[in-house]
Amino acid sequence: MRGPAAMISSNVRLWAALVLGSVLMSWLFAVLHIPAAPLFAGMVTGILVNMDGRLIYSPHLSRIAQIILGVAIGILFSYKAFSAIDGHFLVVLLVTFATFVLSLLSGLIFSRLTKVSRTTGLLSMTSGGASGITAIAHELHADLPLVAIVQYLRVVLVMATLPAIVMFVFHGSVKTPRVAQTPSLDWAAWGYALLFLSFCGLSGAWFARILRMAAPYLLGPLIISLLLTVSNASTLRALPPPIIDLAYLLIGWQAGLQLSIRRIRSQIRLIPIALGLIMVINLLCAILGYVLAHLVGVSNLDGYLATAPGALYAALAISIAAHGNVLFVLGVHLIRLLMMLLIIPPLARFVVVKPSPGNPPEAGD
């Protein structure tokens, strides 16, 4: 039987391996252009390092990740993005709500077909805000590893098919999208970003907990940063990329450290069902995009990109390359993102509290 000193030493080695392995794998995944590379890297490294389950993930790390993501999402909102849908807000809202209903129905279907809890099914099939949904899955008593796998399976599928569909369906009108390089930040800019993050994180989490909101560490900071951005009280346009990468890495660890080879094998049978539902959602969202384009008067390409179920940055990059209505695409995505993140958590909590007849409560998922 090992003593406490030996156990501490072993855990230190495991954490060192986790950090180093995650950094190296993040670099590799970034080279391969995998979206949210640190998240995937953290999840894969966590699985490999923690096969015997000795490393315990602290809930404080999850809260830090949620605060960062909440603030980052809130900063995306701006008056310019919303001005692009001015005069068509009701139509955009109805189409966005339709995508929400599609997510809800697909989540319930996924739950029924795979025998997982309704909360897990709902969060797994939510179209939009993959990192945010994954970050709060454990707090909502969902099967976090399964939610993470399905959510990023959706992101990868959308990322992989979006350029190909645009190139073939829209007759090659799009050049290879290029993502603008993020300018380096000086110490003053870093200090302002950290100060803004701290203020929004602490005040937002406190505010949300006072109101007993679902997922307070995500939604509270999101609302505060959104209000400061829309009111032009803040000049910050984005958090430094290393801070976002840190959030992705923490979420990846949260999922990976709870996975095991045995659990992965048990969930492989669910992947074909998830893929089928994701493809159906993609098709239905494309139809909604066509309808939106004709109701609003934008191009079919803009309508398709605006209703793509996720992959916001890929949709924006393609819209820029095609000289499309970039702000319209951004505005629709942001409305859907906000709708998903504000409605899904309390709805998932309600599902936990109100289990259907014949099904046990889901708190033990």
Residue 115 · residue 273 · CB < 8 Å:
no
pLDDT at residue 203 tops 90: yes
Per-residue pLDDT band at 355 (split at 50, 70, 90): very low
How far, in whole angstroms, is CA 235 from its chain's centroid? 24
- DSSP code string of 295-332: HHT--HHHHHHHT-SS-HHHHHHHHHHTT--HHHHHHH
Beta strands in 21-122 (DSSP E): none
Read off the pLDDT of each residue in 2-6 and give the average, rounded to a whole number: 55
Assess if residue 27 is contained within a domain: no
Residue 205 · residue 217 · CB < 8 Å:
yes
Share of the chain above pLDDT 70, in %: 79
**In whole numbers, what is the pLDDT of the chain averaged over residues?**
79
So what's the pLDDT on residue 321? 65
Assess if residue 244 is contained within a domain: yes
Instruction: Give me the number of domains the chain comprises.
Output: 1
Contacts of 275 (CB under 8 A, 6+ apart): 153, 157
pLDDT at residue 290 tops 80: yes
Read off the pLDDT of each residue in 138-152 and give the average, rounded to a whole number: 82
So what's the pLDDT on residue 362? 39
pLDDT at residue 361 tops 50: no
pLDDT at residue 182 tops 60: no
Assess if residue 129 is contained within a domain: yes
Question: Which DSSP category does 214 fall into?
Answer: S
Assess if residue 2 is contained within a domain: no
So what's the pLDDT on residue 180? 42
Read off the pLDDT of each residue in 106-116 and give the average, rounded to a whole number: 90
So what's the pLDDT on residue 74? 85
Q: Model confidence over 299-353: pLDDT tens digits?
A: 888 888 888 887 676 677 677 667 778 778 888 888 888 888 788 778 877 765 4
For the chain, give the number of residues. 365
Assess if residue 294 is contained within a domain: yes
Question: Which DSSP category does 13 fall into?
Answer: H
d(CA 63, CA 360): 28
Where residue 292 sits, what CATH number does that domain have? Answer: 1.20.1530
By residue range, what is the domain housing residue 147? 55-176+185-353
d(CA 257, CA 144): 11
Residue 188 · residue 76 · CB < 8 Å:
no
Q: Which two tokens stand for residue 315?
A: 């949709």
Assess if residue 101 is contained within a domain: yes
pLDDT at residue 161 tops 80: no
- Residue 14 zone, left/alpha/beta (φ > 0; ψ -120 to 50; rest): alpha
From 323, 346, 325, select the one nearest 86 (Cα to Cα). Answer: 325
Angle, helices 144-169 vs 37-49, to 10°: value is 140
Please give the torsion angle defined by the CA atoms of residues 155, 141, 332 and 219, in that order, rounded to the nearest 10 degrees.
Answer: -120
So what's the pLDDT on residue 130? 73
Q: Which residue has the tokens 């495991």?
A: 14
C-alpha atoms less than 13 angstroms from C-alpha of 42 in its C-beta half-sphere: 23
Question: Which DSSP category does 354 fall into?
Answer: S
Assess if residue 311 is contained within a domain: yes
Assess if residue 347 is contained within a domain: yes
